[in-house]
Structure 1
């Protein structure tokens, strides 16, 4: 098994055909076929159903895809770490929940760039299950996320509690859970808190699992929804959004999870983490 075979397999999956993959990779279709055949021979399973209309994953191919993606990612990370430009003392690979760039992710980056110029950074955005896997395989050294990590290799610390508040483009004296309400999905704990606070049926024609996307939608189209205060602070200050009166607030805990052995010798890390946690 080699990287060319893995990249070719992923290109076929992403483009849907061997011919399209050949064009993307700038090789001949026969080369693509040979690489896929070689990979399947090594795995001992058919990974793709091939037909005139294209190629689809088999059940073994579906399972193998995520491993292929991880192997290609790990190779890219290894190259990045080994080929650091002269003058850099190391690299910090950061896993980041999509909603945590605004705030801790950006503050961490700004601090390191301003005060630790010898440290290179790589950011990997993803949802919680992806971050858990990246931590487990060592793809990331630290992660800003919403769930602590178990295991002796990891240390989990509470960074802060996000305050989730109900906001709307139009001033409202009380929550109005009608068709204009946007259900912003902030995870399991939020779902429980929300159900307890609003035990009746909540009419929502739209569910968005991203604070950034939900904020954009509210600003462009109106309506109301629960968002982190740090996401909407500027919009509240300018009057573009309003906090809904008499609406309950919720909290969502933010953690930093570290590979304890990796971060131990980093003299710069404590101050960067303090910057990430500041408000």
Structure 2
């Protein structure tokens, strides 16, 4: 069977629309409809019901989802393994959400170089939804994301129970002012909680969707902003940044997502490396601060299954 038929089917399932699937696949809607028709003829079953709301699965379509995912994943793994360079037994591909790659991904690459030199590595940084779509389709082995949604065939494992903390370049650690506040977009949940805690900071002069950029700007010109605790720790210890006493903290955990039926002989070393570097990041000495006030909420993703490694879990 043409693997593009399975890919097209899964894209429609993901976005519930023939039109949006065509846009994401960069083909015409006519081509998408033709592929679905071909697939339905091959299977002898109707897979979708089209209506004004988009496209919904028939009972036969729901049964085919798991098989389609398996087809695409097996093909992608085979294609990737054919590209493994000489001297390496397999290729591991890891994607990381933009806000989480530094320093986790760098530390992981260094760990893998020392502890698993027989594996070839490829890393990518991007948007969470796109990366999760690719791990579901088999084009990525592992994705590191902030709030992944549970999907059939995927496992979600807690790596880091991270916090976003308010820091300032001012030694006194006073409350931030609009004129020198740097707003970093850490996602919808953070934005909602932030607007409740700091309504006066809803409109500021400098904002960024990338944590490292916001932090470097803050260190260069001064000011205040929310950043990941594990990343600003060294700057606090060096005296370049200071925790703002009494400010709220926002949970910002990182999860590893991978296929439930993945080849663990390949993924096990990669996951071990992620757990190791994540554990080192969270086991460093805690920073003494005044008791935090306000919201500290961010539960694990709804419906997710956090693995036993929980006991061992945008910069």
Comparing 219-228 and 191-200, the one that deviates more: 191-200
| Contact residue 175 and residue 246 of structure 1 kept, 8 A | no
Q: After the TM superposition, which residues 20-39 of structure 1 pair with which residues of structure 2 at under 5 Å, given as runs? A: none
Task: Go from structure 1 to structure 2 and tell me whether the alpha carbon gap of 1:76 and 1:265 turns closer, same or farther (over 3 Å shift).
Answer: closer
Map of 1:161-200 to 2, 5 A cutoff? Answer: 161-200=161-200
Provide the residue aligned with 1:268 in structure 2.
269
The 3-state SS of whatever aligns with 1:248 is coil
SS in 1 for 2:111: helix
**Equivalents in 2 of 1:160, 1:76: separation in Å?**
29
* Residue pair 1:189, 1:252 contacting (<8 A) in 2 also: no
The answer on whether the counterparts of 1:141 and 1:263 sit within 8 Å (CA) in structure 2 is no
Structure 2 residue 72 is matched with structure 1 residue 114: no
SS at match of 1:179: helix
Q: 2:25 aligned to 67, 73, 96, which one?
A: 67
CA contact (8 A) 1:94 1:124 kept: yes
Q: Does the 8 Å contact 1:179/1:203 carry over to 2?
A: no
Kindly indicate whether the alpha-carbon contact (under 8 Å) linking 1:103 and 1:276 is maintained by their aligned counterparts in 2: no
Aligned residues: 216
Which residue is 2:255 aligned to?
255
Q: CA deviation at 1:173?
A: 3.7
Change (3 A) 1:211 1:78: farther
Offset, 1:89:
0.8
Shift of 1:260: 2.1
**Superposition deviation, residue 108 in structure 1:** 2.0
**TM-score when normalising by structure 1:** 0.68
Report the Cα distance in structure 2 between the residues aligned to 1:220 and 1:199, rounded to whole angstroms.
26
Supply the distance in 2 between the matched residues of 1:109 and 1:139 (Cα, whole angstroms). 19
Structure 1 partner of 2:226: 226
Q: Deviations over 1:179-209 (max 9, x none)?
A: 2111111111211221232244544112211
Kept in 2, the 8 Å contact 1:177–1:202? The answer is no
1:124 counterpart SS class: strand
CA contact (8 A) 2:76 2:138 kept: no
Aligned residues: CA RMSD: 2.9
Distance 1:197 1:212 in 2: 23
Q: Give 5+ residue unaligned stretches, structure 2.
A: 1-19, 28-72, 282-315
The 2-side partners of 1:270 and 1:184 are apart by 29
Distance 1:132 1:172 in 2: 42
Once the two structures are TM-superposed, the CA of residue 154 in structure 1 deviates from its matched residue by 0.5
Give runs of ≥4 in structure 1 deviating > 6 Å: 62-65, 74-79
Give deviations 1:94-136, integer Å, cap 9, x for gaps. Answer: 0111222223312322221111111111101001122122223
Q: Gaps spanning 5+ residues in structure 1: where?
A: 1-61
Q: Which residue of 1 aligns with 2:208?
A: 208
Distance 1:178 1:202 in 2: 9
